[in-house]
Amino acid sequence: MTESTRNADVLIIGGGLSGTMLAVQLLRLPGTRRILVIEPRVELGRGEAYSAVELGHTLNGNAARMSVDPDNADDLTQWLTDHIAAGGWPESDQQQVPVSELFPPRGLFGLYVQQRLAEARAQSTSTVEHVRAEAVDLQIEAGAALLTLDNGEQLRGAHAVLATGMFPAARTPQTDSSGVNAAAVDPWDVQAMTRIDPQGRVLIIGSGLTMVDAVVSLEQAGHRGPIEVFSRHGLLPHVRRQPPAWEDFLGADPALRSPRQLLRALRRQCRIALAQGIDWQAPLDTVRAHIGRLWSQAGEGEKRQFVRHVRPWWESHHHRAPPLSAELVARLQAQGRLRIRAASFKGLAPADSGVSIRLRFRGEQGITQVSGTALINSSGIEYDWRRVARPLPQQLLKRGLIQPGPLALGIAADATGAVLDAQGRISTQLFAMGPPLRGMWWESTAVTDVALQAKALAVELTTI
């Protein structure tokens, strides 16, 4: 430890939604503590998800579902109401729905998070400092966490929290990378897409929500050519609608425990809803509150079956697209400009110009080469930390301070977020929250999930 080492009560590694919400909850608790948030971006509260600047890149949930305050489900609705009344987001009237049903731009949501942090700072005796750097190593010494930054500085904290957020495959180097990202255009970089031939054929790998964003980006960049989308199952996200309330059938029947039982009961409830002329999304939307419990109760075999056989359909039905974006995708499909095909990506192929990829189409044995003007990698999130070629995940694994989570999804931790090391010992210094706990709770990425975890972890950190 050097003489310049700064000390803190809590080191928060990551200043996106997860880290910022934890800082807010710590600020709201009684007492005085020093909090350092390590985040290389210029601003806190935005991270990967909410740094988008295009109005077309919206949340995939409406305002009533996206409050960062676990004690006030209407917090975002109230903030948006005031923001719009003050002249902000004049384009909101294009959606022609009540404020609670609006799908705000992700950049605007980032501003909302930042304002909640500013308010918490102003009302607290604790302090939050943004350390603009990347954490590259961490050690546990003398009952404290010693963090090394990419500028050589070291920070020492009584506790450290891995609030690293998500690692999008499109922006995440992988230890066994085929080089696809070096050849691909960023799904959210509209400026880069303006340099693509507007009539050229664009190839997209992956058909989830990142693909939907990529199509929005292409449209805003003025692209008018064909778009070919390839994914293993060829499934599109359903459009998110606003169904009426439905009975909490899982809460009413504690005997429903396993993923298989859940699926059977959910299908039955959806059939009942459709028979009554009610949107099938109504029963589905009651499930979220129980996912963590059901996932943690399931055995490893059941979890593997779910991930292998059910996950694609779960993702397309549960992680739904915002209406305006879904309408764009549907319109391009109807025009014949966008086509989605079931195929497995097998790597890049040599190309004299543009880009070529190797695919195995569903039902075929051979490999087909497909060429286009440009390529976009929209294959979603990389949850396996062993494949994330960033310094901190690799060093934590090398030091044995963490171990992969269930099914190699994120990292292992106990119910409080305390991290398990390679020997299975529970740390008293190192914690995690949000997407790194995907394997623990399955759904650990949504705003409401992160907000609840932040509140519980803040209490834990101030009482141990």
Q: What is the CATH number of domain 6-57+105-167+383-463?
A: 3.50.50.60
Average pLDDT over residues 431-449: 92
pLDDT digits (tens, 9 = 90+) for 211-257: 999 999 999 999 999 999 999 999 999 999 989 999 999 888 878 77
Q: How far apart are CA 116 and CA 113, in angstroms?
A: 5
How many residues does the structure list for the chain?
464
Phi, psi of 89 (to 5 degrees): 45, 65
Q: How far apart are CA 281 and CA 316, in angstroms?
A: 12
Other beta carbons within 10 angstroms of residue 281's beta carbon come to: 20
pLDDT digits (tens, 9 = 90+) for 332-355: 999 999 999 999 999 999 888 899
DSSP string, 64-125: GG--S-TT-TTHHHHHHHHHHHTT--GGGGGS-S-GGG---BHHHHHHHHHHHHHHHHHT-S
Task: Tally the C-alpha atoms within 13 A of residue 447's C-alpha that lie toward its C-beta.
Answer: 26
Q: What is the pLDDT of residue 3?
A: 52
Distances, alpha carbon 389 to alpha carbons 70, 165, 379, 437, in Å? 34, 15, 17, 19
Look-up: residue for tokens 């210094």?
Answer: 429
DSSP label at residue 411: B
Phi, psi of 378 (to 5 degrees): -115, 40
Q: What is the pLDDT of residue 222?
A: 96
Other beta carbons within 10 angstroms of residue 194's beta carbon come to: 14
Would the CATH topology of 6-57+105-167+383-463 be identical to that of 170-238+320-377? yes
Q: Is the pTM of this model over 0.85?
A: yes
101-110, 331-340, 376-385, 453-462: least confident range: 376-385
pLDDT digits (tens, 9 = 90+) for 169-199: 777 665 445 678 778 899 999 999 999 999 9
Look-up: residue for tokens 């070291």?
Answer: 154
CATH assignment of 170-238+320-377, among 3.40.50.720, 3.30.1330.10, 3.30.390.10, 3.50.50.60: 3.50.50.60
Q: What is the pLDDT of residue 51?
A: 84
Q: What is the pLDDT of residue 178?
A: 62
Q: What is the pLDDT of residue 175?
A: 46
Q: What is the pLDDT of residue 299?
A: 86
Q: Where do the structural domains in the chain lie, given as residue ranges?
A: 6-57+105-167+383-463, 170-238+320-377, 249-314
Distances, alpha carbon 311 to alpha carbons 19, 160, 284, 306, in Å? 28, 32, 15, 6
Look-up: residue for tokens 């909490």?
Answer: 248
pLDDT digits (tens, 9 = 90+) for 42-97: 999 998 888 877 888 999 999 999 999 999 999 999 999 999 999 999 999 888 89
Q: What is the pLDDT of residue 179?
A: 73
In a 3-state reduction of DSSP, which class is residue 113?
helix
Q: What is the pLDDT of residue 177?
A: 55
In a 3-state reduction of DSSP, which class is residue 447?
helix
Phi, psi of 85 (to 5 degrees): -60, -30
| Mean predicted lDDT score pLDDT of the chain | 92
Average pLDDT over residues 113-135: 97
Task: Tally the C-alpha atoms within 13 A of residue 15's C-alpha that lie toward its C-beta.
Answer: 23
Percentage with pLDDT > 90 across the chain: 75
Q: What is the pLDDT of residue 94?
A: 84
Q: How far apart are CA 415 and CA 440, in angstroms?
A: 8
